[in-house]
Amino acid sequence: MKVCKFGGTSMANAECIKRVADIVSNDDAVSCVVVSAPGKRAKNDTKVTDLLYACLDKVNDGLSPEEAFKPIEDRFDSILKGLGLKTDFKVYYDEIKNELKKGATKDYIASRGEFLSAIVLSEYLNWPFIDAKDFVRFDDKGNFLSEETNAYAKAVLHGVKKAIIPGFYGATGDGTIKTFSRGGSDISGAIVARALYADIYENWTDVDGFMKCDPRIVDNPEVMELITYKELRELSYMGANVLHPDSIFPVRKNDIPIHIRNTFNPSAKGTMIVSSKKFFSGAYERKESTVTGIAGKKHFISINIEKSMMNNELGFARKVLEVIEKNGLGIEHMPSGIDTLSVVIDGSNHDEEALGRIVEGIKKVCQPDTIDLERNLALIAVVGHGMSRKKGTAQKVCNSLYEADVNIRMIDQGSSELNIIIGVENKDYEKAISALYKEFLS
């Protein structure tokens, strides 16, 4: 039995939705289908979710809900027309506009794209619609309640043979709509797969699978046919964004594999994502490879601290981390030496004032000899289970970057030997990615 999730590009217009309908109608194993809001129809188009955010902003700026909601209404009307559906969506449109008049929350408005998208596919396939708010649970602070959700999902979905479910959102105990972060429909699909003990969770998108490297940097990189949950987490966290990184948690509890597939090229093998336990047991075969994939991101900042006899000062690192925590920033990596400690933070959305407070706070509580900020740092993850069984991987990383005339600013290997993190200057990021891909994956 399968649970399928279709992303925004798969639901972008009537022709795309017809493809989705063909895929699920011709596969008897498909049970529940989770859908995203319609995405972009072309490069310069706007996703429905972004139209909804803009709608709320316009209403807050004084535009009438009728005028502000018109672009969304037009978009769905064109889909209905293209599918030949005579369903009157006025009741749904009016409900949303009434909520706008009453001061709708951002989460509620953002969720309506998935809600309407699921209603469309439900009507077109004549499959039952089940609202995600009936089983996906958040607490009052917006934190996802995993086990409570699973219990509700099992009850709501018990005995269900076919159903269409909107992704991306759920509700608190009092019915207030809450959403996941962007891309959260992937999590919704995984929740449904776990509750139904699905044999497989198919995640349909607009690419043939996980690429071994960013195709914007390396031309036509190979597709990974098989990776583990752990490898996925590492690559997703560092920017490989085919799948929401949190979507593995529900399915991992029941060892349900995820299969990434292309709605627009269903004959492609795609990428199978499996548990490390099953991978190492030999349940799945993969061509031996030291490195599975390479991913990275730019714009990190390293806070470099030096103090003589640091290693003898009990609680030094804890004091540094407490200062950073009090200023609302998280850390990415923390390489250290005997008298040195570096803390790497994401600089893409940093608060410059908070950064200044952190520096002053560390000076006050730690009294370092020196402290400085290193900006414009890019981090690259070289990921693969094979690294733990192969000598010389770090040497090859360093040699390939040396040959490419890239200076390594930082190198850090995880205790699991699943990844090697390299820090380079932003300007060398693309060159470094290309060199590493050529060394390990081409």
| pLDDT at position 325 | 93
Q: pLDDT-based confidence at 277, cuts 50/70/90?
A: confident
Domain co-membership, 339 together with 255: no
| Residue of higher predicted confidence among 234 and 383 | 383
User: Which domain covers residue 118, as residue numbers?
Assistant: 2-281
| pLDDT at position 415 | 64
Domain co-membership, 375 together with 258: no
Residue 105 lies in a domain: yes
- Tens of pLDDT, residue by residue over 289-327, are 778 899 999 999 999 999 999 989 999 999 999 999 999
| pLDDT at position 397 | 93
| pLDDT at position 416 | 63
pLDDT average, residue stretch 394-419: 88
CATH number for the domain harbouring residue 131? 3.40.1160.10
Highest mean pLDDT among 298-312, 327-341, 386-400: 298-312
Q: Which of 281, 305, 332 is the last residue of a domain?
A: 281
Domain co-membership, 420 together with 333: yes
| pLDDT at position 348 | 81
CATH number for the domain harbouring residue 351? 3.30.2130.10
Residue 287 lies in a domain: no
Q: Which of 234, 252, 281 is the last residue of a domain?
A: 281
SS (H, E, C) the chain: CEEEEECCHHHCCHHHHHHHHHHHHCCCCEEEEEECCCCCCCCCCCCHHHHHHHHHHHHHCCCCHHHHHHHHHHHHHHHHHHHCCCCCCHHHHHHHHHHHHCCCCHHHHHHHHHHHHHHHHHHHHCCCECCHHHCCEECCCCCECHHHHHHHHHHHHCCCCCEEEECCEEECCCCCEEECCCCCHHHHHHHHHHHCCCCEEEEEECCCCCECCCCCCCCCCCECCEEEHHHHHHHHHCCCCCCCHHHHHHHHCCCCCEEEEECCCCCCCCEEEECHHHHHHCCCCCCCCCCCEEEEEEEEEEEEEECCCHHHCCCHHHHHHHHHHHCCCCCCECCECCCEEEEEEECCCCCHHHHHHHHHHHHHHHCCCEEEEEEEEEEEEEECHHHHHCCCHHHHHHHHHHHCCCCCCEEEECCCCCEEEEEEEHHHHHHHHHHHHHHHCC
Domain co-membership, 229 together with 323: no
- Tens of pLDDT, residue by residue over 146-166, are 999 999 999 999 999 999 999
Task: Please state, rounded to an integer, the average pLDDT across all residues of the chain.
Answer: 93
Residue 217 lies in a domain: yes
pLDDT average, residue stretch 266-284: 86
Domain co-membership, 267 together with 352: no
Q: Which of 246, 281, 316 is the last residue of a domain?
A: 281
| pLDDT at position 370 | 96
pLDDT > 70: what percent of the chain? 99
- Tens of pLDDT, residue by residue over 205-233, are 999 999 999 999 999 899 999 999 888 88
Q: Judge whether residue 35 has pLDDT over 90.
A: yes
Q: Judge whether residue 9 has pLDDT over 90.
A: yes
Residue 177 lies in a domain: yes
Work out how many domains the chain is built from and give that number. Answer: 2
Q: Judge whether residue 5 has pLDDT over 80.
A: yes
Residue 286 lies in a domain: no
| pLDDT at position 288 | 64
| Residue of higher predicted confidence among 236 and 211 | 211
- Tens of pLDDT, residue by residue over 73-87, are 999 999 999 999 998
| pLDDT at position 290 | 79
Q: Of 295-299, 417-421, 430-434, which range is least confident?
A: 417-421
Domain co-membership, 322 together with 233: no
Domain co-membership, 178 together with 141: yes
Q: pLDDT-based confidence at 328, cuts 50/70/90?
A: confident
Residue 246 lies in a domain: yes
Domain co-membership, 152 together with 49: yes
| pLDDT at position 287 | 75
Q: Judge whether residue 442 has pLDDT over 80.
A: no
Residue 288 lies in a domain: no
Residue 114 lies in a domain: yes
